C-alpha cells in the first residue's frame, strides 16, 4: 500500500466517524478510532502513526508482541481484540494496554496475576455474544453481571465496559440492533458498576450504526489498511 493511499483512507474513516457523531447528536470526538493492524507490517503501523493514529488492535498475541517491540520508540497503545488462549495470557498481560475480548473468569484471573506490577492496571472489556448465534465467542448477556462483578474484584485489571462482534449484515436497521442491545446492557450494568465508560463496537462495514448507538471505540481494519489476504 502506498503512503498516500493510507493517508487518504485514514482521513476518510475519520470523516465518517465525525459525520456519524454529528448525525446522531454525539459530541465531536466522543468516538475514538482503533486501527486494526492484524496481518499488516510494523512499517505500515509506523506510517499510520505518522498520519495521526496511536491506538492499534491485534488478534494474535505473538504478532502484537513483535510489533510492539519493533515500534517501542513510538507512543502507541496496543489493544488485544482476538480470542484469548490460556497459554497466551502472560504475553497479553505484559504487552497490552487494553484487552477487549474477555469471555471467562479463568482468563481474567490469569491476566490479573500476570500483569506486571510496574504497569498500570490492564483496561479490560467483556465480550458479549449479542445477536450472533453462529459465534462461539463472547458471553451471553444474562451471564455478564456475575462475570463482571467477579472481574471487578481483580486489582490488576480495570474493568471499563463491553465489546461485541455482531454477524455481518449490510442492512442498516439490522446493524443497529445488536449495538442497541450492547448499549442497553451497559446502561443496566452501570447501576452496580458506575465506572463503566467504554463500548467497543463497529468495524469497517458498520461503524456508522455503532456510533449512532453509542460506541466509544470503533475497530477499523480493512478500510484503513486494505483487505487482508492471510
Ligand atoms: C479484524 C477485526 C476487526 C476489523 O474488521 P474490519 O472489517 O477489517 O474493519 C475489528 N474487530 C475485531 C475483533 C476483529 O477481529
Per-residue H/E/C for the chain: CCHHHHHHHHHHHHHHHHHHHHHCCCCCCCCEEEEECCCCCHHHHHHHHHCCCCEEEECCHHHHHHHHHHCCCCCCEEEECCCCCHHHHHHHHHHCCEEEEECCHHHHHHHHHHCCCCCCCEEEEEEECCCCCCCCCCECHHHHHHHHHHHCCCCCEEEEEEECCCCCCCCHHHHHHHHHHHHHHHHHHCCCCCCCCEEECCCCCCHHHHHHCCCCEEEECHHHHCCCCC
- Pocket test of ligand 1: the residue of 10, 61, 203, 229 to mutate, having most ligand atoms within 8 Å of its CB, is 203
- Pocket test of ligand 1: the residue of 79, 100, 125, 219 to mutate, having most ligand atoms within 8 Å of its CB, is 219
pLDDT of residue 227: 93
Query: Over the chain, what is the mean pLDDT?
Result: 96
- Do residues 224 and 13 lie in contact, with contact meaning Cβ atoms separated by under 8 Å? yes
The yes-or-no verdict on residue 230 having pLDDT over 70 is no
175-185 tens-digit pLDDT: 999 999 999 99
pLDDT of residue 43: 97
pLDDT of residue 132: 63
- Give distance in angstroms: CA of 156 to centre of ligand 1: 27
| 75 — pLDDT class (breaks 50, 70, 90) | very high
Of 114, 76, 108, 80, the closest CA to residue 96 belongs to 80
- Give distance in angstroms: CA of 230 to centre of ligand 1: 14
- Name the grid cell of 13: 474513516
Rounded CA-CA distance 105/222 in Å is 31
Lowest mean pLDDT among 31-35, 68-72, 169-173: 169-173
Query: What percent of the chain lies above the pLDDT cut of 90?
Result: 93
Q: Are strands 32-36 and 217-220 parallel, antiparallel or unpaired?
A: parallel
- pTM for the whole thing? 0.97
CB 204 near ligand 1, within 6 Å: yes
CB 171 near ligand 1, within 6 Å: no
Query: What percent of the chain lies above the pLDDT cut of 70?
Result: 98
CB atoms within 10 A of CB 3: 12
- The string over 33-62, giving b where at least 16 C-beta atoms fall within 10 Å of a residue's C-beta and e elsewhere, is bbbbbbebebebbebbbebebebbbbbbbe
43-53 tens-digit pLDDT: 999 999 999 99
pLDDT of residue 66: 98
- Name the grid cell of 22: 454529528
Amino acid at each position: 500500500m502506498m503512503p498516500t493511499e493510507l493517508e487518504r483512507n485514514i482521513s476518510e474513516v475519520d470523516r465518517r466517524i465525525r459525520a456519524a457523531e454529528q448525525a446522531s447528536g454525539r459530541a465531536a470526538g466522543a468516538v475514538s478510532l482503533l486501527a486494526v493492524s492484524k496481518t499488516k507490517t510494523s512499517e505500515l503501523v509506523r506510517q499510520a502513526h505518522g498520519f495521526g493514529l496511536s491506538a492499534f488492535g491485534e488478534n494474535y498475541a505473538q504478532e502484537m508482541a513483535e510489533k510492539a517491540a519493533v515500534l517501542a520508540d513510538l507512543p502507541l497503545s496496543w489493544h488485544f481484540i482476538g480470542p484469548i488462549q490460556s497459554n497466551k495470557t502472560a504475553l497479553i498481560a505484559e504487552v497490552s494496554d487494553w484487552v477487549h475480548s474477555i469471555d471467562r473468569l479463568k482468563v481474567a484471573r490469569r491476566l490479573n496475576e500476570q500483569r506486571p506490577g510496574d504497569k498500570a492496571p490492564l483496561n479490560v472489556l467483556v465480550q458479549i455474544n449479542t445477536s450472533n448465534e453462529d459465534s462461539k465467542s463472547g458471553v451471553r448477556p444474562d451471564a455478564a453481571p456475575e462475570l463482571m462483578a467477579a472481574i471487578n474484584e481483580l486489582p490488576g485489571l480495570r474493568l471499563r465496559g463491553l465489546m461485541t462482534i455482531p454477524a455481518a449484515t449490510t442492512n442498516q436497521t439490522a446493524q443497529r440492533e445488536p449495538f442497541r442491545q450492547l448499549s442497553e446492557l451497559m446502561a443496566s450494568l452501570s447501576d452496580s458498576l458506575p465506572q463503566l465508560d467504554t463500548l467497543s463496537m463497529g468495524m469497517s462495514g458498520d461503524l456508522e450504526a455503532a456510533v449512532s448507538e453509542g460506541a466509544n471505540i470503533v475497530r477499523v481494519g480493512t478500510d484503513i489498511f486494505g483487505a487482508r489476504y492471510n
